[in-house]
Amino acid sequence: MTAPPPPEILILAAPDLAAALTRWRTHLAAERRASAETVEAYDRDVEQFLRFLTEHRGAAPTIADLSDLKPADLRAFLARRRRDRAVGARTLGRNLAGIRSLARFLERREGLNAAPFRATRAPKAGRSLPHPVTAAAGLRLADAGESLAEEPWVAARDAAVFALLYGCGLRISEALGLSRRDAPTTAARALRVTGKGGKTRIVPVLPKVVEAIEAYLRLCPFVLDAEGPLFRGVKGGALSPRIVQLAMERMRGVLGLDDTATPHALRHAFATHLLGAGGDLRTIQELLGHASLSTTQIYTHVDAARLLEVWAKTHPRA
């Protein structure tokens, strides 16, 4: 059963809207299969919007109040967010996405006039390119011998996680969400990965990645249940993403990498290096689990930037 919205949201809404918020949250989790992180982010977006409307109108808004809103009201909310919190265009776009999700739900279920929500546009955000690590750095990160961890099994574990991120293009949540039974083997070098929105995909696994995982399994001091998490922390619980991030921070100093070298940068490197070696976008889209090809197309800009850099450094007339 889906948890009810946080109480701080409900007190900012009139009774009819509060009841609709509960139904919307259930719709997100059960029907749209949104992740817990997405639901939590939308909660924050709606809370900020309702807080603004309560101050703006002097009372907790009803569904009818939302239906009476004009694009100017929504632009005023975005302007307030930018002025008071100094948030960027990307954050404002995310805020507006959460509010629009609620508006679409209310339009279908409660007859809300959602036209003003569709008509309002967030400020344009500059497109930031991913910062992939080099192939050499990716390989060294997947080498347990490079690790600074004191325990050999911890070094092998970190190397196995990095190998999955760079060798398979997994998100960190996908790698840490694997169970023991999901671990690839020499005989079955493929992973069934559950990504965003509960969508599954099959990802081929390189022999070096299998070797890294098998090395970790040989050294891991814990008994791993088939249905339990594949990667464990030092106390035996599921490995936290923060621990992986800290391991990467330590390795940045060893490898001389800058601050953009994060675990997610290994996923970017996977896609960028595939594209640079002649991989086609559709295949890379499938491997990454992107719902839209436009999301994958950003890597064409990354690769073009690399080619221009090489040209500028080597061409006699550059």
Say which CATH number the domain at 13 has. 1.10.150
Range of the domain at 67: 7-119
One domain for residues 169 and 302:
yes
196 is catalytic: yes
Cα separation, 111 vs 289, in Å, equals 35
One domain for residues 98 and 147:
no
One domain for residues 37 and 168:
no
pTM for the structure as a whole? 0.59
One domain for residues 149 and 50:
no
One domain for residues 69 and 143:
no
One domain for residues 36 and 183:
no
Residue 309's pLDDT is what? 67
Q: How many domains does the chain have?
A: 2
Given 264, 268, 282, 315, the catalytic residue: 264
Residue 129 inside a domain? The answer is: no
Given 94, 140, 157, 290, the catalytic residue: 290
Residue 2 inside a domain? The answer is: no
Q: Which of 201, 215, 118 lies closest to 157 in space, CA to CA?
A: 215
Last residue of a domain, one of 57, 86, 119: 119
Instruction: Say if residues 16 and 62 touch (Cβ distance below 8 Å).
Output: yes
Given 42, 166, 216, 299, the catalytic residue: 299
Instruction: Say if residues 141 and 249 touch (Cβ distance below 8 Å).
Output: no
Strand partners, 192: 202
Residue 190's pLDDT is what? 82
Helix ranges (DSSP H) in the chain:
7-10, 15-26, 36-57, 63-67, 71-85, 89-110, 115-119, 135-141, 152-168, 172-176, 207-219, 241-255, 263-276, 281-288, 293-296, 298-314
Residue 108 inside a domain? The answer is: yes
CATH label of the domain that carries residue 203: 1.10.443.10
Given 81, 232, 267, 268, the catalytic residue: 267
One domain for residues 299 and 190:
yes
Given 171, 232, 268, 273, the catalytic residue: 171
Given 57, 82, 196, 201, the catalytic residue: 196
One domain for residues 59 and 174:
no
Residue 306's pLDDT is what? 60
One domain for residues 152 and 301:
yes
Last residue of a domain, one of 93, 119, 145: 119
Please work out, in degrees rounded to the nearest 5, the angle formed at the alpha carbon of residue 218 by the alpha carbons of 271 and 265. Answer: 20
One domain for residues 253 and 208:
yes
Residue 98 inside a domain? The answer is: yes
pLDDT profile of the chain (318 residues), mean per 10: 67 87 87 81 89 87 90 88 75 85 91 88 65 81 81 92 90 90 84 80 88 93 92 92 90 81 85 76 76 66 62 66
Residue 229's pLDDT is what? 92
Residue 305's pLDDT is what? 63
171 is catalytic: yes
